[in-house]
Every structure is written in structure tokens, then in C-alpha cells.
């Protein structure tokens, strides 16, 4: 007796080179070659700005992609731009698409890479870097998991957050309503926003208890963290874009994902172990990672000076350093390495997600 067909979903991942923050021609060429714009759910980009408060390459890239998708009548694609390609990191876009399929039950396969997205409401600026932000992100992660069809948090391997930060204008807006902000330092607000967002991921995935997340622990209790969060702050939004990556039997196809927790910037053993858990005869589709200068001032028992440089932000040093370490592991430079890993694995470490494409 013939088995009934089942409906599954399939993910697709593409790495596309970028000659500038506005260069969307490579993605546009993919549309001409057959990729349906409406199937694209997210684009993670690395742009060659400084990754700090005044890095408008992120907004430039976002606007360029919004215009591209508007020409095709598509809205709602998650556009997460991370500034900073220090060292030899290559500016590029990682395009994530998904489609619905009808497969014979016998050939449905799985589990395979699953992708879900969500977007929160506008974050009141006086909530940035505080418990309210973490709770908002936690709700968004749960929504994105549902969008991906992932029920078990253990099946989630990476959660990418794009979160806002404070500018002088936003601080002034909070002042005008009689609310005090968590900090009046715009650069510091980036770290607080990333940290609160990461704790929101930890809460959603059951890695921390809600009672432990209070305003005073954000940015200070380094023992509280998510092992699968990656948060990047940008001036181009006032809400949160959330992308969940995991494995699900409701998805089909050759793509698979696993993750590592780097204990330090030179912890390649954890990365190799994660790669070994994936199919041996598979090609790398994408590598997503976070990096930060170890607040202890030490790496591998030796002193580092990333936090002593008053000319170049420590996050920029960390991106270059970890980018080089991972480039040596994978033999590629178009890696998505984002700086600032507050509450994203233990201090000085960082999460790494590896997506591979198995042989068909």
C-alpha cells in the first residue's frame, strides 16, 4: 500500500560576496537564476564599518536590501547586519530561504535544518538593558521557535538577535517622558542591549530562571548566560529581529546544524568537536560566531591588550582575532563573526554555529 505524501519544509543557505555595503547584486542575480524572493526569510550580513555607534554601513545595507525586496513585492525579511570585518574577514551576505515541499513519507528524511523568525514590538528606550528587554526577547524567541516548528529547546542550536541601542536622541526622548535610561553612554548601551537580549534567549531556552534576571545582573553576573545566543546591536532599528536555527524532523533536505561553546578565543577543540558531530562528508554552508575580549585581560594564560587600546574598541580586536582563529579552522574568510558576547557563553568565549550541506 502506497504511503500518503507528507508536507515538509526545506531550508537553503547561500553565502554571497559583497563589494560594498550597498552591493546586493549577487543576491539579485540569485533571484534571476531562480531563487524566489518570497522564500527568503533572513539575511545575515557582514559590512566593513567599525561596528560601533556610528557604523552606518549596517543601515546602508539594510536600506539597500529593503529596496531590493520592495522591487519584488516582498516585505518582512529579517535583515541582520553586523558591522566590522577587521583582519581578513570578508564582507558578505548569508542568505537563508525556506520552502514548503510535499514528499513521500518514506523519503521525508529528517531531521534537518529548521529556521524560524519573529520580530518584537518597539522597545521603550528606558527598558533597554533591563529586565523588560530580556522578557520581550524571550517571548520573541518562543514565537520564532514556533515559526520554525521546534518544540524542544534542546533542538535549538543558535539564536541570532538584532537589538537596538541608545543614541543621544533616544536618551533625550526617554528624558522627555520622565524615564531614566540604564546608561547615558551610547557605546555602553550596545553591550547592555546585547546582554539583556542574550539573557532573553537563555530564559526562553530554559538556561536561566526568570527570577534571576533583574536589572542589576545585566552586564555584571557573568555566570548567567545562554550557550546559543548571538546578539548584535544596531542603530537601524528600535525593536528586535530574532532568527532561530535548529534541527527538526518536520524539515527535510541536506542541511544540518550543530554548535560549539568556545571557552576562550583560542578554544578550537570545542569547534572541532562540533564539526565532528556533523556528517563527515559534508561541505560548510555557513559559520556563525560571536567574539569578545576576555574581561580578565588574559587569553590562554597570557595577557592581552584588547581592553587597553583607547584608539580601537576591544570588540574590533576580538572580531579580528576570533575571525582569524576560525578562518584557520575552516579555511574560509566569509565568516559571520560578530563582536560583543555579553551573557553569550562564559566571559571571553563565544558561541559558534556550523551549518553543513550533506552529500545528496
**Contacts of 28 by beta carbon, 8 Å cutoff, 6+ apart:** 68
Tell how strand 229-233 and strand 156-163 pair up. Answer: parallel
**Contacts of 305 by beta carbon, 8 Å cutoff, 6+ apart:** none
- Measured at the alpha carbon of residue 50, what is the angle toward residues 353 and 86, in degrees to the nearest 5? 55
Write out 301-344 in H/E/C secondary structure: CEECCCCCCCCCCHHHHHHHHHHHHHHHHHCCCCCEEEECCCCE
- Annotated binding residue 232: yes
- Annotated binding residue 82: yes
- Annotated binding residue 302: no
CA atoms within 13 A on the CB side of 208: 30
Q: Which residues are catalytic?
A: 162, 232
- Annotated binding residue 78: no
Tell how strand 298-299 and strand 251-252 pair up. Answer: unpaired
* 178 Rama sector, left if φ>0, alpha if ψ -120 to 50, beta otherwise: left
- Annotated binding residue 277: no
Distance separating alpha carbons of residues 314 and 287, to the nearest angstrom = 22
- Annotated binding residue 281: no
Given a contact cutoff of 8 angstroms between Cβ atoms, the answer to whether 95 and 119 are in contact is no
Query: Could you give phi then psi for residue 179, rounded to 5 degrees?
Result: -110, 140
Q: C-alpha grid cell for residue 331?
A: 579555511
- Annotated binding residue 194: yes
DSSP-assigned beta bridge partners for residue 252: 10
**Contacts of 339 by beta carbon, 8 Å cutoff, 6+ apart:** 51, 82, 84, 290, 291, 292, 313, 315, 316, 318, 319
Q: How many distinct helices (H) and strands (E) make up the chain?
A: 7, 15
List binding-site positions.
Answer: 58, 82-83, 194, 232-233, 319, 338-339
List binding-site positions for substrate.
Answer: 58, 82-83, 194, 232-233, 319, 338-339
Amino acid at each position: 500500500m502506497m504511503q500518503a505524501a507528507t508536507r515538509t519544509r526545506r531550508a537553503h543557505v547561500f553565502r554571497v560576496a559583497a563589494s560594498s555595503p550597498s552591493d546586493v547584486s549577487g543576491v539579485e542575480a540569485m533571484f534571476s537564476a531562480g531563487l524566489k524572493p518570497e522564500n527568503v526569510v533572513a539575511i545575515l550580513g557582514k559590512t566593513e564599518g567599525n561596528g560601533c555607534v556610528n557604523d552606518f554601513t549596517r543601515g546602508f545595507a539594510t536600506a539597500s536590501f529593503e529596496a531590493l525586496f520592495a522591487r519584488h513585492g516582498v516585505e518582512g525579511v529579517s535583515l541582520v547586519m553586523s558591522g566590522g570585518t577587521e583582519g581578513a574577514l570578508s564582507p558578505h551576505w548569508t542568505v537563508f530561504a525556506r520552502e514548503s515541499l510535499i514528499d513521500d513519507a518514506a523519503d521525508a528524511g529528517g531531521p534537518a535544518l529548521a529556521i524560524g523568525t519573529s520580530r518584537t514590538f518597539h522597545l521603550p528606550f528606558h527598558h533597554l538593558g533591563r529586565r523588560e528587554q530580556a522578557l520581550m526577547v524571550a517571548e520573541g524567541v518562543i514565537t520564532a521557535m514556533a515559526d520554525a516548528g521546534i518544540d524542544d529547546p534542546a533542538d535549538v542550536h543558535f539564536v541570532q538577535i538584532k537589538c537596538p541601542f541608545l543614541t543621544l536622541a533616544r536618551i533625550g526622548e526617554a528624558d522627555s517622558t520622565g524615564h531614566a535610561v540604564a546608561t547615558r553612554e551610547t557605546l555602553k548601551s550596545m553591550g547592555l542591549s546585547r546582554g539583556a537580549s542574550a539573557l532573553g534567549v537563555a530564559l526562553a531556552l530554559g538556561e536561566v530562571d526568570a527570577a534571576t534576571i533583574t536589572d542589576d545582573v545585566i552586564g555584571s553576573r557573568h555566570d548567567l548566560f545562554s550557550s546559543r545566543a548571538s546578539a548584535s546591536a544596531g542603530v537601524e532599528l528600535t525593536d528586535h529581529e530574532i532568527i532561530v536555527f535548529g534541527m527538526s524532523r518536520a524539515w527535510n533536505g541536506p542541511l544540518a546544524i550543530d554548535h560549539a561553546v568556545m571557552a576562550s578565543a583560542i578554544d578550537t577543540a570545542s569547534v572541532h568537536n562540533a564539526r565532528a558531530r556533523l556528517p563527515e562528508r559534508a561541505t560548510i554552508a555557513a559559520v556563525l560566531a560571536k567574539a569578545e575580549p576576555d574581561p580578565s585581560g588574559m587569553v590562554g594564560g597570557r595577557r592581552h591588550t584588547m581592553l587597553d587600546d583607547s584608539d580601537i574598541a576591544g570588540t574590533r580586536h576580538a572580531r579580528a582575532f576570533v575571525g582569524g582563529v576560525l578562518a584557520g579552522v575552516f579555511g574560509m574568510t566569509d565568516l559571520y563573526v560578530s563582536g560583543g558576547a555579553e551573557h553569550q557563553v562564559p566571559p571571553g568565549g563565544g558561541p559558534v554555529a556550523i551549518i553543513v550541506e550533506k552529500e545528496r
